Amino acid sequence: MSVEERQRPGWDSIPPKADFTATLFLFAWALLPVGFMCMMLIFHRFESFRLPLLAVSEALLLLTFASGYAQRKGSKFDSKMQLSGVLLGVSVIVLAVLYLGELSQWWWIGYSFCIGSVPYLFISLNGLAACDHEVYQRPWDAKELVQVKHCMTGWDIVSARWKSGIMASKTIGARTAIMYGSKDEQQLFLNIELLATKSEAFSEGDWGVQWGDFPTFSHSEDAEE
């Protein structure tokens, strides 16, 4: 029995399930209209296409953000993703004001926010993709409540009942760990995941999880959403 198995009896370590291929594809396409926007800022040509081009760029960047955000359950707790989402949101608001207020002469403000959000989006998605810390997983029964007061210390509990969404979260340093349910065919699982890289070291006290106190189930067939 390995050291990790002794520390976390009943829990298996699996790699995080994330595929950023579609996200990279969308981001590559989003850079195309953004590139044309940069040319318009330099040459001041094709005035009638300024806002439509801005709208296309915003749409593709938002799709890219949504695709990356959906890759990991704990994305909403990542500070870089939060900042990137805020910048994109402000950029969309500026675009709406320019359109509805007929303020096309201020088009360069919308361009500045949109182009400025691109490097932040890249940094946030790159950071999220780099989070390769193992996910700890064990079989679970949907009828069983997680004994959070007994098994988890310092966690913010959302639900003690199994569900596919986030059930609990805890900030560990600059990172966030989450607990959530998942289903593979007819098997239900309880997962604890940390958005961090493998190179980052955390003590068992940082986790605040009494791994061996969780009940053991061989299989489960009922899921509650």
What is the layout of strands, in order, in the sheet containing 175-184?
A: 12-14, 135-139, 187-194, 175-184, 166-172, 156-157
Whether 221 shows a pLDDT value over 60: the answer reads no
Q: What percent of the chain has pLDDT over 90?
A: 46
The pLDDT assigned to 46 comes to 74
pLDDT classification of 115: cutoffs 50, 70, 90: very high
Distance (Å, whole) CA 193 – CA 177? 5
The pLDDT assigned to 100 comes to 87
Whether 209 shows a pLDDT value over 50: the answer reads yes
Tell me the pLDDT tens digit for each residue of 55-110.
Answer: 999 999 999 999 999 999 889 899 999 999 999 999 999 999 988 887 878 888 88
Of residues 151 and 216, more confidence is placed in 151
Tokens 């061989």 appear where?
A: 218
Output the DSSP codes for 201-215: ---HHHHTB-GGGSP
Phi, psi of 167 (to 5 degrees): -100, -30
Which value, in Å, is the radius of gyration of the alpha carbons in the chain?
A: 22
pLDDT classification of 218: cutoffs 50, 70, 90: low
The pLDDT assigned to 49 comes to 83
Task: Please name the residues in contact with 46: beta carbons below 8 A apart, sequence gap of 6 or more.
Answer: 40
The pLDDT assigned to 217 comes to 62
pLDDT classification of 7: cutoffs 50, 70, 90: low
Distance (Å, whole) CA 103 – CA 128? 37
Tally: H helices and E strands in the chain: 7, 6
Whether 183 shows a pLDDT value over 50: the answer reads yes
What is the mean pLDDT of the segment spanning 120-141? 92
Distance (Å, whole) CA 146 – CA 138? 12
What is the mean pLDDT of the segment spanning 25-43? 90
The pLDDT assigned to 174 comes to 85
Q: Which amino acid is it at 185?
A: E
Phi, psi of 157 (to 5 degrees): -90, 130
